[in-house]
Chains A and B, each alone.
Chain A
C-alpha cells in the first residue's frame, strides 16, 4: 500500500475504535451528544450522496428526516410499541421517506441550481405545515412514545450503536457509489448535465435514484430520533436548522468529497451539542453557526479537506522540485497524482475535488 493509503486506513481504524469505545466511559452527556454527532454524520453523508455528488443543493433533507420521525411516531402510537422492537421500525421509516422522495424528486429535479434550492425549501415548509396542522399528526402538540422502561444510565447506548452502524453503513455506501458507474454519472451531471445527457446518461433516473437513496438514509435517522428524543414535534422533526446544519457540515469539510461531510459533522456537532448544554442563550449558538457559514463560503468555498490537501500537494511538489534541482531527488518516483491525505478515500481519490 502507498503511504497515503496507509495513513488513511490507519486514521479510519483509530476513528472507528474511538467511536466504538466512547459510550463505555458511561458518561451520559458524552454518549448523548455522541448520538447526535453520529446522527449528523449519517445525515451529512446522505445529503452528500445526492447534493455533493450531483451539485444540486437541497435544503429539503428535513422532509425525509421528519417523515422518518412521524412514521415511527405514528406506528408507536397506534400499535403502542415499546422495547427492542422499536429498532426494527427504522428501515420502515427509511422506506416511507424513500417513497416520499420519488414525487418530491420528480417535481424538484425538473429545475436546476437556484430554482431547485427554492423548490426544496417550499416542499419542506409544506411538510412542516402539514405536521403542525393535521389532527392525525398530533398538530403542534406532536406525538410522544410509550414510556421506555430502560435504565437511564445506559438509555442512550443502544441508540448510540445503532447510529454508529447507520453512519458507517452510509459512509461505505457513499464510497461504493463514488467509484461506481452510477457515481461517475452523478459526478458527470455535476460538471455538465446536458453534456452527460448527450453521452447517453439517463440523467433524471440517476438524479432521482441518488435523491431516493439519500432520502432513505435520512428517514432511517429520523426514525432513530423519535424514541431517542421521545418526541415528534413539527418544529423539531421538520427543522430548517437541520437542513442548514448538514449543508454547512458538508461545505465545511469538503463539498462533494467522500470524507468532507464526515469531517464537517465531527467538527461541528460536538460544538452544537456543547452549546446546547453550556450556552444559556440558544441564539448565541445559532449566531455563531451563521457566522461560520459565511466564513466558510468566503474563505474556504471548497471546504477544509480539499483546501488543506491542495496545500499539502503543492508543498510536496515544491519540495520535490527543490530536491530535484539539487540532483538528489527521487526521479519523479514519488506519488504523482496521489490524492492529498484525507481528501477522499478509495481508488478514485485522484479526482476528488
Chain B
C-alpha cells in the first residue's frame, strides 16, 4: 500500500512550547489509522497543520505525494481532505440541511461548468444535492432533523452532522478529532459502524481518540504521539503491549477510556 497522507518532519512551536517536533506519520490509502497520545501531545495541532489551520514552522505535508504544506483550509478541503473538530463546529443558525448544502458547494461547483460564476443567485442546493444530503443524513441517522436549526441539536447529533457534511464532499481522507468524545455508548457504536462501512467503500480515515476500546477496535494502524513526536507506530496489538506507550500514558493506557476533556 502507498501512503495517501504523509507528514515529513513537521514542527510547530507556540512561543516556547514545542507542540510538534520532527513529526512524521503515514496514513495508507484505504486504511483506518489511529492517532493517540496523552493530552497536549500535539494530536490536534497535527490535524491543524495538515488541514491548513495554521502554518508549520518546518517540515512538509503530502497528499498523494503532492506537497500541500501550508495551503489554506479551503484548498486542502478541495484537494480531498475533510475533517471534524474536537469541539463540534456546525453552523448553528442554519438548518441541518443548509449545513449540508454549504459543504456540498465545492462539489457542485466542480460538477457544472462555471456554474458559480454563471449564476451567483442560483438557489442554494439543487435537487440532486438535497437528495444526496438526505441519503447521508439517513446514513448517520439524523434525517428527521433536516429542517431544524443546528443549534437545537444535541452534542452527539452535532458530531453526526459534522461527519455527514464532511461526507457530502466525498473526501479521499477524513480526519476525525475525537469522534467518540462526550458521546453516549450507543451512539459510539453507530459512529464506529458508519466509519467501518465508509472505509469499505474506499474512504481513508485518520482518527484522534482517547477512547482506547474505540481506537483499538477500529484502526488497522495506530501511531502514538508523545510531546509532539511519534514514539511508536503499528497494529493495535503491538501498540497495546509496547512499553513506550505505557510510559507515555504513565501506565494508564488500558483504563483511560473516557478522558475526552482536553
Query: A residues near B, CB below 8 A?
Result: 176-177, 179-185, 187-188, 190-192, 194-203, 209, 337, 347-348, 350-351, 353
Contacts and interface: CB of A to CB of B under 8 A. Distances in A.
Contacts of A188: 91, 94, 102
B74 A201 contact: yes
Contacts, number: 104
Interface string B238-251: 00000000000000
B259 interface: no
Contact of A353 (B78, B93, B166): B93
B155 interface: no
Contact of B85 (A195, A201, A347): A195
B45 to A, nearest CB: 15
Nearest to B72: A197
Nearest to B88: A195
B93 A190 contact: yes
A180 B123 CA distance: 4
Interface of B: 51-53, 72-74, 76-78, 83, 85, 89-95, 98, 101-103, 105-106, 108, 116, 120-125, 147-149, 165-166, 169
B103 A200 contact: yes
Given A192-B91, A351-B95, A200 B121 contact: no
10 contacts: A181-B123, A183-B124, A184-B98, A187-B98, A194-B73, A198-B53, A199-B102, A199-B103, A201-B102, A347-B123
Given A180-B123, A351-B149, A199 B77 contact: yes
Most chain B C-beta atoms within 10 Å of own C-beta, residue among A198, A203, A353 = A198
A200 B120 contact: no
Nearest to A202: B74
Contacts of B76: 198
B143 to A, nearest CB: 15
Contacts of B78: 200
Contacts of A183: 124
Nearest to A184: B124
A351 B93 contact: yes
Contacts of B116: 181
B186 to A, nearest CB: 27
Contacts of A182: 120-121
A329 to B, nearest CB: 21
Contacts of A176: 121
B122 A181 contact: yes
Contacts of A180: 120-124
Contacts of B83: 198
Nearest to A195: B89
Contact of B74 (A179, A192, A200, A348): A200
A198 B106 contact: no
A192 B93 CA distance: 10
A192 B158 CA distance: 14
A184 B94 contact: yes
A195 B77 CA distance: 11
The 3 closest A-B pairs by CB, nearest first: A200-B106, A191-B91, A197-B73
B74 A198 contact: yes
Contacts of B85: 195
Given A198-B53, A199-B169, A187 B93 contact: yes
Nearest to A183: B124
B77 A191 contact: no
Residue of A194, A200, A348 contacting most chain B CB atoms (<10 Å)? A200
A192 B150 CA distance: 12
A199 B81 CA distance: 10
Contact of B105 (A181, A191, A198, A209): A181
Contacts of B121: 176-177, 180, 182
B152 to A, nearest CB: 11
A187 B122 contact: no
Contacts of A202: 74
Nearest to A353: B93
Contacts of B102: 184-185, 188, 196, 199, 201
A198 to B, nearest CB: 4
Contacts of A195: 85, 89-91
Contacts of B123: 179-181, 347
A184 B101 contact: yes
A4 to B, nearest CB: 15
Select the residue from A181, A182, A203 with max chain B CB neighbours within 10 A.
A181
Nearest to A196: B102
A351 B149 CA distance: 7
A348 B95 CA distance: 9
Given A184-B101, A185-B102, A198 B77 contact: yes
Contacts of A194: 53, 73, 89
A201 B53 CA distance: 14
Contacts of A203: 74
A351 to B, nearest CB: 5
